[in-house]
Amino acid sequence: MNKYLKLFLFAFAISGSIIGYEASASDLSQDHQEVSSEATDETVSGDHAEEAHHGPAGWSVIPFVVLLLMIATGPLFYEHFWHKNYPKVAVALAVLVVSYYLFGLGNHHSPVHALFEYVQFIALLTGLFVASGGIMIIVDKKAAPLTNVALLAFGAIIANIIGTTGASMLLIRPFIRLNKNRIKSYHIIFFIFVISNIGGSLTPIGDPPLFLGFLKGIPFFWTLSHNLLPWIFAVILLLIVFYFMDKGNKADYSFGEEIATPTGKIGLRGSRNFIWLAVVVGAVFLDPNVFPWVPGIHYEGQKFSYIREIIMLAAAYLSYRFADKQALSGNDFSFEPIREVAFIFVGIFGTMMPALELVGNFAKSPEGAALITHNTLYWGTGLLSGFLDNAPTYVNFLTAGMAADGASINKVSEVIGYSQGAYANSILELKAISIAAVFFGAMTYIGNGPNFMVKSIAEQVGIKMPSFFGYILRFSIPFLVPLLVIVWLVFFYFEWI
């Protein structure tokens, strides 16, 4: 178990693990350069631009840690200051780290790359948030555990069609309305567990990490064929736990008011917004790295998308401009949740660059590669995906896993081979990375984009949500962590299924 302990400490003590390691950063950069030497010329030039700079110092992760601590403690201990000033705090910390990269390290590549990733991230979330905000699903049924279980199961399925963000934004409001007279925080947390994260494990559309894998060359239906059993297993277990929790919920917040007898019908307003939702989802595939005819911005040998982001933001504007006003009113729609997400993640994308770079370098070094098995990839990818953005974490550990087998993530043929078992144990390694990146995204409010947005929408309508640490202590540790351990034991450690 020694190697698991090392990876555990590595994942939870990023700065401590890496400060002593940073002295050899230049050697690791050279090692990584050798690993990447067989990449395509276009990607190599981008890699060389990044490798030409010195690695960040261990202390540079401090702004990221400070931001996480303020996200965790602000709403709890200094709520007025935090809600008034969180945009300034997030932007200031991001500017601090970006300035260090630009002027201290002379590294323009990483901030530019983070900027484009942020724009792609927020354009998708904005498009899905606004388009779904104009769709009002009316579930006129009695709030009951089985009804809630059915809605959560439905959300877990459609998360693979319109993404975890799309499914979350489409269903969170009807889920809240359905349970308005008995809703508690556990309803929202299990919604985040099932729909905003674990549900989207079966297709590249489902969750951003899997989409990045698809762009790198992993076949579209690979996730469906390999992640299906863990998905079924995890979703069913969560729904069983939720059912018994909900069955014991005897709360009544109607305060004696007469409640109309439910008709049992399901209604819909603003159905034309499904067209805009489809436009946003369809635009996801317009990537210049996949389709050469799609215009892109060329920077240091890399191509960044901008057409799809314009389409997504245009769809957001038009869907709001021509939305059914009664649907918007019925959903209590406002832009505050997406505003909060936009500012918080400016800080996260800006400050997490040193953490991701140092973690990635260590994972790809000889010392890190010696720790790599499908078990350590599961826990390493997972633990970091809960606190860093799970998409770049997925790429870093996929790169490390392939490098340990002598393969390069920059060669499509080798990525396909890795997914088809051309390397020893590579299918199980890729499965571990894929499952962990998606499942562990539910560990915290910031593990995956929809989490924070769902929390914000719930708070907007008056639901008292747990703090950052409260979420982890009251829900993640007692409910999610045991599930993640069981999934590991069944599918990876013992490989029973």
3-state secondary structure string across 230-299 = HHHHHHHHHHHHHHHHHHCCCCCCCCCCCCCCCCCEEEEECCCHHHHHHHHHHHCCCCCCCCCCCCEEEE
pLDDT tens figures, 111-150: 998 898 889 888 988 998 899 889 999 888 888 999 999 9
Amino acid occupying residue 37: S
Residue 366 lies in a domain: no
pLDDT of residue 257: 63
Strand partners, 302: 299
pLDDT of residue 16: 34
Q: How far apart are CA 220 and CA 204, in angstroms?
A: 6
Task: State the pLDDT confidence band at 405, using cuts at 50, 70 and 90.
Answer: confident
User: Mean pLDDT across the stretch 424-450?
Assistant: 94
pLDDT of residue 17: 35
If one compares 309 and 71, the residue with the highest pLDDT of the two is 309
Task: State the pLDDT confidence band at 287, using cuts at 50, 70 and 90.
Answer: confident
Instruction: Among 202-211, 250-259, 309-318, 431-440, name the one with the lowest average pLDDT.
Output: 250-259
pTM of the model: 0.79
Residue 497 lies in a domain: no
Closest by Cα among 296, 394, 393 to 348: 393
Residue 71 lies in a domain: no
Residue 15 lies in a domain: no
Residue 260, C-beta contacts closer than 8 angstroms, at least 6 positions apart: none
If one compares 16 and 203, the residue with the highest pLDDT of the two is 203
pLDDT of residue 331: 85
Residue 395 lies in a domain: no
Domain that holds residue 153: 114-350+450-465
Closest by Cα among 437, 450, 391, 461 to 168: 450
The percent of residues above 70 in pLDDT, for the chain, comes to 88
Q: How far apart are CA 43 and CA 217, in angstroms?
A: 14
If one compares 87 and 253, the residue with the highest pLDDT of the two is 87
pLDDT of residue 12: 38
Instruction: Among 84-88, 256-260, 372-376, name the one with the lowest average pLDDT.
Output: 256-260
Mean pLDDT over the full length of the chain: 85
Residue 3 pLDDT > 70, yes or no? no
Interhelix angle 273-283/307-321, nearest 10 degrees:
170
Task: State the pLDDT confidence band at 72, using cuts at 50, 70 and 90.
Answer: confident
If one compares 448 and 260, the residue with the highest pLDDT of the two is 448
Residue 39 lies in a domain: no
pLDDT of residue 497: 76
Are 130 and 320 contacting, i.e. CB atoms less than 8 angstroms apart? yes
Residue 166 pLDDT > 70, yes or no? yes
Residue 311 lies in a domain: yes
Residue 227 pLDDT > 70, yes or no? yes
Residue 94 lies in a domain: no
Count of domains in the chain? Answer: 1
Residue 293 pLDDT > 60, yes or no? yes
Task: State the pLDDT confidence band at 352, using cuts at 50, 70 and 90.
Answer: confident
Q: How far apart are CA 400 and CA 396, in angstroms?
A: 6
Are 248 and 459 contacting, i.e. CB atoms less than 8 angstroms apart? no
